[in-house]
Amino acid sequence: ECTREVDMVQLRKMFDEVAGPAGQIRVADLVKHKTRIQQVFPVLLEKFSEIDLNNTSTVSWAELEVFAGGTGEWLEYQLDQVIGLELLKQQIRQFHHSIVMDQKRRDTGHHVKVVGKYHMIFQGNPGTGKTSLARIIAQLLHRIGIIKSDLLVEVQRDKLVAEYVGQTGPKTQKVIDQAKQGVLFIDEAYRLSQDSGKSDFGREAIEQLMAAMNDPPGKAPIMVFAGYADDMDTFMQANSGLYRRIGYTFDFSDYTPFELAEILNSIVTNSGFKLAQPLLANNFSRVAAVIESNTLPQAREMMNGGLCERLFDFAKQSLDAREAVVSASNPSLELREGDLLEACRRIPPPPVREGRESSAPSADPAALAQKLQRTDAKLRSAQAEIHRLQAQLRAVKAARNAWKSGDLVGSGQGCCQRIFNFFCFLWSACVLCAAAVLHGVGYFCCCRCLRKSEQFTTPIIRISPADGVKPGPAPMS
């Protein structure tokens, strides 16, 4: 543990004296009450920024209580800030409990050897919080004394693998040395063993990592290998040496629509905006229904929390377009259901993962339905873009009318107005052309996909001569 035993009653009394009516300890308060703090809890002076969990440059009683209470309380506080992922949270609690038990066994004289067994796998789809949880793991390992720093170094294949013979080993070792006091987080680790040509040196990087995994923390980092669950499974099967050196596997599940709604509300609030009151009722049930009904399951699976960031961006653009016409002088901060619907329509269908879909046409009804869904999403995205451009056009027209009705003075009035009218006309023409192109592209994609679906799902009925009808030519393939 990083903290010593403290008298919580005395700590609370000291906090009230230092914080005063504001209920927050500031940096200035540290200077003013330095002697008193040194008597009761000197760690506050040394680790003020670490105790400030919310990064507000102030420390509340809740934050101080969490820090002084020990790693268990700190971990629970951190996990409470994470939306969803209940199974994963339980896995992390068990991980912490296991480490604490091993430390107690050593403290009682038992020889417990777990060197190299802290390396782990994070498996799940993008946007499920793997990097955020890696930061918590780094801080947790630091607090319980496994590593000397809470440093987290994030890399992908390009930071480990070089282009020429003899360069990959030193390049990988340089990253290992950089992270040796903390945690090395290797995202999309499975790409290290995916051949990209005859001059691929991913295997050399894997061997360099495996050699370092045998070293104790401090000489080499704790390593976290992250990626899609199926790809990570294949990666580990092809690299049994890595598999033997990894002690823990953490599973990151996809977010449900209700969890996505909660994440969206958090993003909206943290950005200084708010959702309309009807959207907040029943734990964001309406937001969850909008997301579930108006986004593709594949998009939710491939983006997860990232989907909420895109939804907020698009919803804000919808709000901006509406406010430009309604109340340009005092724009609203409230996102309505219509803004969310508009945002959902603009979410493009996700790209197909490499190697996950055959280029040959398929007659599978489920596959065809999925293609139709993707095409429909493209069409809805194009229609949403048309609506956005039309809203901008209305805003330009409103500004033009305001210009016409304003009291213009000076001899240059006629010239300025003609110039303004010309640019309004030019912008209107561009908007209408773009809208027409987008609509045409969406219609073409939809019709093309429908023709393909008919081609592979419509049965061919052949009539034999025995039926008394002369057979016609065979259908073209």
The pLDDT value recorded for residue 333 is 92
Confidence category of residue 112, pLDDT binned at 50, 70, 90 = confident
Q: Picking from 108-117, 203-212, 387-396, 413-422, which range would have the lowest pLDDT averaged per residue?
A: 413-422
Confidence category of residue 469, pLDDT binned at 50, 70, 90 = very low
| Whole-number average pLDDT of the chain | 79
223 φ, ψ (degrees, to nearest 5): -110, 135
Interval 7-50: pLDDT, tens: 888 899 999 999 978 889 999 999 999 999 999 999 899 889 88
The pLDDT value recorded for residue 452 is 46
d(CA 252, CA 80): 16
Amino acid identity for residue 440 in this structure: G
Interval 364-414: pLDDT, tens: 555 455 556 556 655 655 566 566 566 666 666 666 566 556 544 444 455
Is pLDDT of 421 > 90?
no
- Percent with pLDDT over 70 in the chain: 70
The pLDDT value recorded for residue 366 is 52
Mean pLDDT of 219-223: 94
The pLDDT value recorded for residue 72 is 86
Is pLDDT of 64 > 80?
yes
The pLDDT value recorded for residue 424 is 57
d(CA 473, CA 477): 12
d(CA 435, CA 165): 52
Mean pLDDT of 173-188: 95
Is pLDDT of 443 > 70?
no
Mean pLDDT of 131-156: 93
pTM, two decimal places: 0.68
The pLDDT value recorded for residue 399 is 60
The residue count for the chain = 477
